[in-house]
Copies of this chain bind each other. A is one copy, B any other.
Amino acid sequence: MAGMSKKERQAALLQLLEDKPFVTDEDLARQFEVSVQTIRLDRLALGIPEVRERIKAIAETKQTELRSLEGTEVIGQLIELSLNEMAISIFDVEPEHVFAKTKIARGHHIFAQANSLAVAVINADVVLTRTANVRFIRPGRLGERLVCKALVTSNDPERSHVSVITRSGDETVFSGEFVVVKMGLDLVNGGLES
Binding site for B on A (CB under 8 A): 21-22, 52, 55-56, 58-63, 65-66, 70-71, 75, 96-97, 99-102, 104, 106-108, 111-112, 115-116, 119, 125-126, 128-136, 138-139, 141, 171, 185, 188-189, 192-193
Contact = CB atoms under 8 A, between A and B. Distances in A.
A108 B111 contact: yes
Contacts of A60: 22
A109 to B, nearest CB: 8
Contacts of A107: 115, 119, 128-129, 132
A61 B58 CA distance: 10
A136 B129 contact: yes
A134 B136 contact: no
A56 B56 CA distance: 7
Nearest to A20: B63
A70 B58 contact: no
B115 A111 contact: yes
A133 to B, nearest CB: 5
A70 B106 CA distance: 9
Contacts of A171: 193
Contact of A116 (B21, B108, B141, B188): B108
A66 B108 contact: no
B102 A139 contact: no
Contacts of A96: 66, 70-71
A108 B58 contact: no
A21 to B, nearest CB: 8
A111 B116 CA distance: 12
